[in-house]
Amino acid sequence: MMARLSVLRRSAPLLLVFGAVACDPTPPPVGMVRGAELYETCVPCHGVNGDGKEEVAAPAIAGLPQWYVEEQLRGYQVGYRGDHASALPALRMRPMALSLTREGDIESVAQYVAAMESVYPASTLHGNAGAGAMAYQVCVACHGQDGLGNPDLHAPPIVQLNDWYLLNQLRYFKSGARGADPGDVWGATMRANALVLSDQAMQDVIAYVQTLR
């Protein structure tokens, strides 16, 4: 019996060491490798190359700025995006953002998306770009003459976004499905601009945006 106890005592440190390895709580490193791993859950909707899928209302996200992707994911997490019943694509997106629970996950997947080669999806709408050019002058202050956006004003590069996605977002801003939550400070600015646009005016300004590529 004493011999068996002696063996168990000598084995205990080894068991503790292996147990520590198996239950290591250290979070994975922040960066591209972790981002690639996390992006696997995004592929069914946004595609391997980040070019999106219109049939599930998932926009092209490849090459969007890291700051913008991070900001939107955090918006979904805190609830000022993805909490309105009429915005079904956002409702689907929110649980995906909420799954990014480990420290550095948002930064990692955003870095991975930003490093993808940018895509410029084909136009699907038939607005009047000439009429939209005048309406776009209101957008210049934030999104710029070239539509490349301004991080200081939290304005994304809209020339990279699908035209149907832009139309959906303008409709959401106008209806209050987006930009009405007090926590969405920058969205409130966008909502004010969308409120004065008719549906045709929305399509016209988006048609003009497509010419800026």
Q: What is the pLDDT, as a whole number, of residue 73?
A: 98
Output the six-digit token pair for 63.
């090459």
Q: For residue 88, give Cα distances in angstroms to 24, 52, 69, 84.
A: 38, 16, 19, 8
Output the six-digit token pair for 24.
């290591």
pLDDT per residue rounded down to tens, the chain (213 residues): 444 434 434 444 433 344 444 555 676 678 999 999 999 999 999 999 999 999 999 999 999 999 999 999 999 999 999 999 999 999 999 999 999 999 999 999 999 999 999 999 999 999 999 999 999 999 999 999 999 999 999 999 999 999 999 999 999 999 999 999 999 999 999 999 999 999 999 999 999 999 999
Q: What is the pLDDT, as a whole number, of residue 27?
A: 67
Can you give the C-alpha Rg of the chain in angstroms? 23
Q: What is the pLDDT, as a whole number, of residue 30?
A: 85
Q: What is the pLDDT, as a whole number, of residue 10?
A: 45
Domains of the chain: 29-119 (1.10.760.10), 126-213 (1.10.760.10)
Q: For residue 117, give Cα distances in angstroms to 63, 77, 160, 212.
A: 6, 26, 11, 18
Q: What is the pLDDT, as a whole number, of residue 6?
A: 46
Q: What is the pLDDT, as a whole number, of residue 5?
A: 38
Q: What are the residues whose beta carbons fall under 8 Å from the beta carbon of 149, sequence distance 6 or more?
A: 65, 68, 142, 143, 155, 156, 157, 158
Q: What is the pLDDT, as a whole number, of residue 29?
A: 79
